[in-house]
Amino acid sequence: MKTEWFPLVNETGETIGKATRQECHSGSKQLHPVIHLHIFNDNGDLYLQKRSMTKDIQPGKWDTAVGGHIDYGETVEEALRREVREELGITEFTPEFITSYVFESAIEKELVNTFRTTYNGIITPDKEELDGGRFWPLEEIKANLGKQVFTPNFEKEFSKLFLT
């Protein structure tokens, strides 16, 4: 199996080293960058992916449309476009940067680069990684917050970005 290398970054996103996926997810809390993309349609509904039941973290929960790690040597924009293509089959979209922030869990520490876009085309969720996806009206998301429907990371980011 090929070793996956992630860049290690400081809080401004500057690369200061590299480490393997395993090292980054071992509880070492080495800061590494990821991307998130929130996809809205023209009605203002938000697309969420359903995590596969085979995932080791948060299986079967609804999550941000696209989320993924940035590979060592890859730019944020390259990683964003690669992940969107791999997870949802979308190649034409215009990302708008929202913010970046540090997210820390029991096993890792990530610099999350968050984007949004409006998209009304065909979405083809990857069948190996995802158990589908759909657009959610914002009121339906709000009604299900805190009910174990969504990943904790999505709930925190959604509340911070879209419930202001």
CA distance 31 to 24: 8
Q: Which CATH architecture has domain 5-162?
A: Alpha-Beta Complex (3.90)
How many Cβ atoms are within 10 Å of 64's Cβ, its own excluded? 22
The pLDDT value recorded for residue 114 is: 97
Tens digit of each residue's pLDDT (9 = 90 or more) over 91-124:
999 999 999 999 998 889 999 999 999 999 999 9
Tens digit of each residue's pLDDT (9 = 90 or more) over 15-70:
999 999 999 999 999 999 999 999 999 999 999 999 999 887 889 999 999 999 99
The pLDDT value recorded for residue 24 is: 95
CA distance 53 to 69: 20
The pLDDT value recorded for residue 164 is: 66
Number of helices and strands (H, E) in the chain? 4, 9
Residue 84's alpha-carbon distances to 14, 16, 104, 143, 164, in angstroms, are 23, 26, 23, 27, 27
